[in-house]
């Protein structure tokens, strides 16, 4: 038997897209328990496809994407990039992720040359250090359950919640905020294209948790249907997933079977690195009866 590939290396492998022509790429998918392509994966792949059509001196600073259809794990994904504009400082790209001739994700992204400018940012909240909190890796490793075993083997990131995590049940207190530290379990390449794509990959796992926390739900609530609808990201400064990053999260609204989750991502020394927003569908089966 060959040596087992660690989870982060598997994620990096699927980000290494095959190039078909100047603006077209193909990629594969990671295995998933629910049988559908993980949204963070296809979003990260769409970023990499767009990056490959832009001058390396221009770095992605924002994206807006819509998850349109569930992805098939066994079908390769085609990434078709449209070059919308290349200006003096900015470039814009649209990427469609396609299976069976139909888009499963549509994303538009903006890139900018590294330039000086005015600086300000929000302050990082005061929370316990990651060393004081329970590790998701340890939690999954201690549970004798097939879902926990899957995430222990396949989770590329260590997550440490300030509030009680929602992996095995709801938190005792309903609240619309949460804070969580996140770091890659093994070393991430230092180039910013990979780092920023992996931040998009990672954050899709947790963006809807404040909505769940508000309503006393968890990842194992039996009658809950949860799916990402759209995703927006703004990168303000360089990211390093080899170090602990703090997600300061909240949910301003939930209505109509949809909820909005937001996150500010800070470095450990207090720099605001990114701001993220995601709307998701969250329904209870009793509501649909």
Q: Does residue 29 register a pLDDT over 60?
A: yes
Give pLDDT, residue 150: 66
Residues 6+ apart with CB under 8 A from 36: 70, 71, 72, 73
> 228, 230, 240, 248: which is the annotated catalytic residue?
228
**CATH says 1-113 is which class?**
alpha beta
Q: What is the dihedral of CA 71, 169, 160, 39, to 10 degrees?
A: 10
* pLDDT at residue number 146: 66
Is there a contact between 105 and 65 (Cβ–Cβ < 8 Å)? yes
Residue 151 has a pLDDT of 66
Strands 58-67 and 90-99: unpaired
What is the homologous superfamily of the domain 155-289 according to CATH? Hotdog Thioesterase (3.10.129.10)
On the question of pLDDT at 79 being above 70, the answer is yes
Least Cα distance to 55 among 11, 95, 93, 29 occurs for 93
Residue-wise pLDDT for 221-270, tens only, equals 888 888 999 999 999 999 999 999 999 999 999 999 999 999 999 999 99
> What would the mean pLDDT of 75-82 be, rounded to a whole number?
98
pLDDT single digits (tens) 153-205:
668 999 999 999 998 889 999 999 999 999 999 999 999 999 999 999 999 98
Q: Give pLDDT, residue 289.
A: 43
**Cα distances (angstroms) measured from residue 112 to each of 23, 85, 236, 238, 285:** 19, 12, 11, 13, 44
Q: Pick the catalytic residue from 29, 41, 91, 204.
A: 204
pLDDT at position 220 is 85
CATH 3.10.129.10 region(s) of the chain? 1-113, 155-289
286 has a pLDDT exceeding 90: no
CA 282, CA 257: separation in Å to the nearest integer? Answer: 5
Q: Which residue has the higher pLDDT, 142 or 43?
A: 43
- Check if 204 is active-site: yes
- The CA distances from residue 227 to 90, 108, 224, in Å, are 32, 20, 10
Alpha carbon 221 to its chain centroid, in Å, reads: 22
Per-residue confidence (pLDDT) for residue 274, from 0 to 100: 98
pLDDT at 34: 73
Where do runs of H (alpha helix) occur along the chain? 7-15, 39-51, 136-142, 146-154, 192-203, 209-214, 285-288
pLDDT digits (tens, 9 = 90+) for 81-137: 999 999 999 999 999 999 999 999 999 999 999 999 999 999 999 999 999 999 998
pLDDT score for 288: 45
Q: What is the pLDDT of residue 1?
A: 39
Catalytic residue among 136, 178, 249, 278: 278
pLDDT of amino acid 2: 45
Q: CA 144 to CA 100: how far, in whole Å?
A: 38
């Amino acid at each position: 038997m060959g040596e087992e590939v660690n989870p982060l290396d598997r994620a990096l492998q699927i980000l290494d897209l095959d190039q078909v022509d100047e603006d077209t790429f193909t990629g594969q998918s990671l295995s998933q328990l629910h049988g559908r392509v993980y949204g963070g994966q296809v979003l990260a792949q769409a970023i990499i496809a767009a990056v490959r059509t832009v001058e390396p001196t221009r770095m992605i600073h924002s994206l807006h994407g819509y998850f349109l259809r569930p992805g098939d794990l066994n079908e390769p994904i085609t990434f078709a990039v449209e070059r919308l504009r290349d200006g003096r400082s900015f470039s814009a790209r649209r990427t469609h992720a396609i299976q069976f001739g139909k888009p499963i994700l549509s994303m538009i992204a903006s890139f900018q040359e590294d330039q000086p400018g005015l600086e300000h940012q929000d302050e990082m909240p005061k929370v316990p250090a990651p060393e004081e909190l329970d590790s998701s890796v340890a939690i999954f490793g201690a549970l004798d359950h097939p879902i926990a075993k899957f995430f222990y083997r396949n989770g590329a990131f260590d997550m440490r919640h300030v509030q009680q995590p929602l992996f095995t049940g709801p938190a005792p207190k309903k609240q619309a905020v949460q804070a969580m530290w996140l770091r890659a379990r093994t070393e991430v390449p230092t180039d910013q294209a990979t780092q920023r794509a992996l931040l998009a990959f990672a954050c899709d796992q947790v963006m809807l948790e404040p909505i769940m926390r508000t309503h006393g739900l968890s990842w194992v609530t039996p009658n809950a249907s949860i799916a990402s609808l759209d995703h927006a990201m703004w990168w303000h400064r360089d990211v390093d997933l080899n170090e602990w990053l703090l997600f300061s999260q909240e949910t301003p609204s939930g209505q109509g079977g949809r909820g909005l989750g937001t996150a500010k991502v800070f470095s450990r020394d207090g720099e605001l690195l990114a701001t993220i927003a995601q709307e998701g569908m969250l329904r209870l089966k009793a509501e649909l009866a």
